[in-house]
Amino acid sequence: MKEYVTESTFIDAFKQNDDRKNQFSYEGLTALYEYFEEYEDSTGEEIEFDMIGICCEYTEYDNLKELNNNYSKQYKDLEELREETEVIIVTFDRFIIRDF
Q: What is the pLDDT of residues 69-97, one digit of tens each?
A: 999 889 999 999 999 999 999 998 999 99
Residue ranges for the chain with pLDDT beneath 70: 1-2
User: CA of 22: how far to CAs of 11, 19, 25, 28, 71, in Å?
Assistant: 11, 8, 7, 11, 21
Q: Residue 68: which residues within 8 A CB-CB, separation 6 or more?
A: 74, 75
Closest CA to 31 of 60, 51, 63: 60
Q: Would you state the pLDDT for residue 89?
A: 98
3-state secondary structure of 24: coil
Residue 56 CA to residue 42 CA, distance in Å, equals 24
